[in-house]
Amino acid sequence: MNDDPRQEHAYFAAVSGEGPVYGTGEIAGTILGTFSTPYLGRALRWTRTQAVRIADRLDPPPDVPWRHALCPVPPAVTAEHGDAPTALRNWAGDDAIRQAAYRRLRDGQPVISTFEDHTGRYTVIVWPVTVPVPVRPANPLPAAPLIRGERSR
């Protein structure tokens, strides 16, 4: 941890996704969101919220009506490739993971979590950024009185 009193941490968070481009054999990636804050807890809360948001877009919760473009994934596919939406939700809801991430960030280390399945790879990252604090003089000079010259008559 940085003990320099002239520096403090801000926190930058991002979520990204990458996956196959249909019919091309290529992989494309994109940033799904970014966030910065001077508060460690807010950065972690944002990443947990984003993890659930991504999971809900990939696999809506049971109480949400399915759209026509969605179809159930066969169990054999999730067994072979994993289940990113479930892993994202579990990660977001696990208090032990949150506490470990808090300690890492407090100590100046980044937190990176990646979740994969047949649709692609999803990454949640938070890292501390050292921000210099402006140095102010310990004894600022008093304001100089306004000096006016005599008016000519």
pTM of the model: 0.72
pLDDT in tens, 115-148: 998 889 999 999 999 877 666 666 665 665 656 6
Alpha helix segments (H runs only) across the chain: 40-58, 75-81, 84-93, 95-106
pLDDT in tens, 19-62: 988 889 899 999 999 999 999 999 999 999 999 999 988 887 76
Side by side, the strands of the sheet bearing 27-37 are 27-37, 7-20, 120-132, 111-117
Q: What is the pLDDT of residue 14?
A: 96
